[in-house]
Amino acid sequence: MSIVRMKKISLIAVRSQKDALLRDLQSLGCVEFSEPEPVAEDAELHDLIARETSELEKYRSDQAGLIRGLMLLDRYAPEKSGLFEPRQEITESALLDESGAAGALALAERLEHLDGQLKRLSVLETQHKSLLESLEPWKELTIPLDCNGTEKTAVVLGTLPAGADPEAVGGILTAAAPEAALLAVSSSKELHYLVLICLKEKLPEALDALRACGFAPSPLKDLVGTAEANMEHTRQRLQEMADEKQELYRQIEAEAPRKNELKRCIDLLAAKIARAEAAERLLGTERAVLLSGWVPAPEEPKLLEVLSKYDCAWSTADPAPEEYENVPVKLKNNALTAPLTMVTEMYSLPSYDGVDPNPLMMPFFVLFYGFMMADAGYGLIMILAALLVKRKKPRGGAKNFFDLLLMCGISTLLFGIVTGGFFGDALKQIFGLFGKTFTLPYTPLFDPLNDTQLVLVGALALGGFQVLVGMAVSFIKQTADGHFLDALFDVGSWWLLFAGIALGALGVTWWVAVAGVAALVLTQGRSKPTIIGKLASGIGSLYNITGYFGDILSYSRLMALMLAGGVIAQVFNTLAALTGNIVTFFLIFLVGHALNLGLNLLGCYVHDLRLQCLEFFGKFYKDGGRPFSPLKFNTKYTTITK
């Protein structure tokens, strides 16, 4: 329940054992590889030592290909799967077995090839469909489309705007070229489709006259035979293409059972990529490789046991305080506090010399959540949902989420019992439907809507308590770091002032408060060089009283959310009961409470988060830690069983 102590490790191994060593370290999963220090300036050394290289790029592009293949399979042969489907389990040696890799890569390539063909067909299909559309108006034309006239006559296909009157245009045409004829083929909303036939020598005059009326020649190039024949042919081609596509779909779908093979190979490559990334952080000479990195102190014996099998030399050391900002941070948590890692990570990890906030925050987070939700029905739903999902063994972030949901659900249930809320006042309304009155078998401690002031005072008191705990943590931490006087001045003075205000408000004496103010004025400017500076920042620090005041008032949100959830639940119940019918009651009840529950789950989480990260962490937290990321298996689709 604290930040794990790290040790710096330096190791020199012989090159021939490099790959085996990396594999063992990955299996162990407890060594983080640091970026190597720049190679010595010394020119002689510079030639001898170089950073290691690997086939990282090749692995990455292979993996990307496999992922594309898997996505294609998912797209063309989708599988119904739940949100928390258990992953396939596999032993480490089976995962690292490379014999299936070539097959999986070939499969991915084949899938991409098939997809390429499908895309090409789709483009062709669109082209043919638009051709079909452009031929449609000429369907009635019996002249072949490639005919541009006889020995003496010219034939031109063209269109006129729908607004033009064909007879008037015919008149204009006859005036320009007496032997010309304009034959209508078909009309649509926008255009008339026409054929112009005239003597070849009169063609320019005829076209000029028609252009003035809006005539546009629209030749159908490269087509032989009548429009009808062309359309028939195009339709045939479209049918063929559809068949071809079906066949391709079928071929892709036939590969669907091999999805797991792809997934396993993606994870295999992920392992190889992790190893290659680590290898690129090594320095190497002709015969040896040099590793520098971090290992958690409790895991050191395990690591040394593995290293003893190899021909290598190593040393471990505790980091010096000036190195602390580079030390990776790993939090050690038990089952109760681990779920809070979610909250800590969303904010920022503590620095290596900071405090692990999870155990401190856990009781408050869960308590506040229950306080805000405070409904036995909602609590039960949260507990059930968490237990249902937990049966499927979610991992990592999802596991933390549902563990947190379970804890908050229990707390919500308890607060619901205390306040007598079960889906708002659902029981009362349901009994009312049958003309009975419902009374709880016990008296609730308080009823949020009637004891509003009590709830508000309770919320502020809880807040005040959390702020004091935060300050106490800061006091202990500073004392442990050997800054007892700082702790006394920075935290002690404030406590003196708070105690003084409390005593004064109770009518005992105001002198303690005065002493607190004096202590603040005298100590808070101690880092300033001049007397005036010291006094000025001492007096300025009194302004922080508004900060503490605001922090504690901020906890009134606990009351606000508790009441809002309760009011909305009751309104939906009343609305449902108005219908006077048990069936419609449950319909409205379901919709209303689903809305209210969803809203409250989110709202309470966010406001709880805010109270922890702003009001609580602000008192003691030192953030900026870098997460510990050792070389390990980071599988996405499989779970490794030892």
Partner 1 sequence: MQGFLENFGGMSLGILGAGLAVVLAGIGSAKGTGMAGEAGAGLLCEDPSKFGKVMILQVIPGTQGIYGFVVGFLALMFMGVLDGTAVGMSITEGFRYFVACMPIALGGWISAIAQGRVAVAAINILAKKPDDWAKGMILCITVEFYAILSLLVSVFILLYI
* Shortest distance in whole angstroms from residue 447 CB to partner 1: 12
Q: How far apart are CA 132 and CA 119, in angstroms?
A: 20
Q: How far apart are CA 428 and CA 510, in angstroms?
A: 51
Find, among 377, 371, 565, the residue nearest to 454 by Cα.
Answer: 371
Q: Which is nearer to partner 1, 115 or 486 (CB)?
A: 115
Q: Which is nearer to partner 1, 498 or 572 (CB)?
A: 572
In the region spanning residues 91 to 120, those forming contacts with partner 1, defined by CB under 8 A, are none
Q: Which is nearer to partner 1, 229 or 567 (CB)?
A: 567
- Residue from 56, 575, 582, 588 in contact with partner 1 (CB under 8 A): 575
Contact predicate 306/25, CB 8 Å: yes
Contact predicate 202/180, CB 8 Å: yes
Q: Which is nearer to partner 1, 485 or 578 (CB)?
A: 578
Q: Which is nearer to partner 1, 497 or 559 (CB)?
A: 559
CA–centroid distance for 89 within its chain: 25
Contact predicate 440/425, CB 8 Å: no
Q: Which secondary-structure segment (H or E) carries 335?
A: none
Cα angle 625, 627, 630 (rounded to 5 degrees) comes to: 145
Q: Which is nearer to partner 1, 67 or 449 (CB)?
A: 449
Q: Which range of residues in 154-162, 273-281, 472-480, 601-609 is near partner 1 by CB under 8 A?
A: 601-609
* Position 595 contacts partner 1 (CB under 8 A): yes
* Shortest distance in whole angstroms from residue 326 CB to partner 1: 25
Find, among 547, 542, 548, the residue nearest to 514 by Cα.
Answer: 542
Q: Which range of residues in 61-69, 112-120, 246-254, 606-614 is near partner 1 by CB under 8 A?
A: 606-614
* Shortest distance in whole angstroms from residue 240 CB to partner 1: 30
Q: How far apart are CA 305 and CA 312, in angstroms?
A: 12
Beta-bridge partner residues of 291: 11
Site string for partner 1, 272-311 (x = CB under 8 A): ----------------------------------------
Q: Which is nearer to partner 1, 449 or 582 (CB)?
A: 449
Residues contacting residue 257 through CB under 8 Å, at least 6 positions apart: none
* Shortest distance in whole angstroms from residue 589 CB to partner 1: 15
Q: Which DSSP category does 566 fall into? A: H
* Position 610 contacts partner 1 (CB under 8 A): yes
Beta-bridge partner residues of 330: none
Cα 413 to Cα 37, 420, 447, 498, 571: the distances in Å are: 55, 10, 15, 34, 21
* Position 593 contacts partner 1 (CB under 8 A): no
Q: Which is nearer to partner 1, 328 or 566 (CB)?
A: 566
- Residue from 606, 614, 627, 641 in contact with partner 1 (CB under 8 A): 606
Contact predicate 13/21, CB 8 Å: yes
Q: Which is nearer to partner 1, 159 or 573 (CB)?
A: 573
- Label each residue of 386-430 as H, E or C: HHHHHCCCCCHHHHHHHHHHHHHHHHHHHHHHHHCCECCEHHHHH
For the sheet with 191-199, list strands across it.
Answer: 181-187, 191-199, 153-161, 216-217
Site string for partner 1, 502-541 (x = CB under 8 A): ----------------------------------------
Q: Which range of residues in 204-212, 252-260, 424-432, 598-606 is near partner 1 by CB under 8 A?
A: 598-606
In the region spanning residues 323 to 352, those forming contacts with partner 1, defined by CB under 8 A, are 346
Contact predicate 455/563, CB 8 Å: yes
Q: Which range of residues in 155-163, 224-232, 531-539, 595-603 is near partner 1 by CB under 8 A?
A: 595-603
* Shortest distance in whole angstroms from residue 457 CB to partner 1: 16
Q: How far apart are CA 470 and CA 620, in angstroms?
A: 6
Q: How far apart are CA 415 and CA 588, in angstroms?
A: 25
* Position 256 contacts partner 1 (CB under 8 A): no
- Residue from 216, 317, 578, 587 in contact with partner 1 (CB under 8 A): 578
Residues contacting residue 473 through CB under 8 Å, at least 6 positions apart: 355, 360, 619, 620
* Position 1 contacts partner 1 (CB under 8 A): no
In the region spanning residues 551 to 570, those forming contacts with partner 1, defined by CB under 8 A, are 557, 560-561, 563-564, 567-568
Q: How far apart are CA 24 and CA 633, in angstroms?
A: 11
Q: Which is nearer to partner 1, 326 or 556 (CB)?
A: 556
- Residue from 603, 622, 626, 637 in contact with partner 1 (CB under 8 A): 603
* Position 609 contacts partner 1 (CB under 8 A): yes
Find, among 294, 223, 261, 2, the residue nearest to 108 by Cα.
Answer: 261
* Shortest distance in whole angstroms from residue 404 CB to partner 1: 14
Q: Which is nearer to partner 1, 34 or 574 (CB)?
A: 574
Q: How many residues bind partner 1 (CB under 8 A)?
A: 22
CA–centroid distance for 577 within its chain: 40
- Residue from 428, 534, 607, 632 in contact with partner 1 (CB under 8 A): 607
Q: Which DSSP category does 381 fall into? A: H
What's at 499, amino acid-wise? A
In the region spanning residues 428 to 467, those forming contacts with partner 1, defined by CB under 8 A, are 449, 452
Q: Which is nearer to partner 1, 428 or 607 (CB)?
A: 607
Q: Which is nearer to partner 1, 523 or 596 (CB)?
A: 596
* Shortest distance in whole angstroms from residue 223 CB to partner 1: 36
* Position 172 contacts partner 1 (CB under 8 A): no
Q: Which is nearer to partner 1, 275 or 557 (CB)?
A: 557
Q: Which is nearer to partner 1, 283 or 588 (CB)?
A: 588
CB atoms within 10 A of CB 396: 7
Beta-bridge partner residues of 33: 293
Residue with tokens 């379970």: 406
Cα 316 to Cα 173, 332, 564, 625: the distances in Å are: 101, 21, 57, 21
Contact predicate 74/625, CB 8 Å: no
* Shortest distance in whole angstroms from residue 554 CB to partner 1: 10
- Residue from 432, 574, 582, 637 in contact with partner 1 (CB under 8 A): 574
Q: Would you say how long the chain is, in residues?
A: 642
Q: How far apart are CA 544 and CA 527, in angstroms?
A: 17
* Shortest distance in whole angstroms from residue 454 CB to partner 1: 15
Please give the residue ranges that form the binding site for partner 1 (CB under 8 A): 346, 449, 452, 557, 560-561, 563-564, 567-568, 571, 574-575, 578, 595, 599, 602-603, 606-607, 609-610
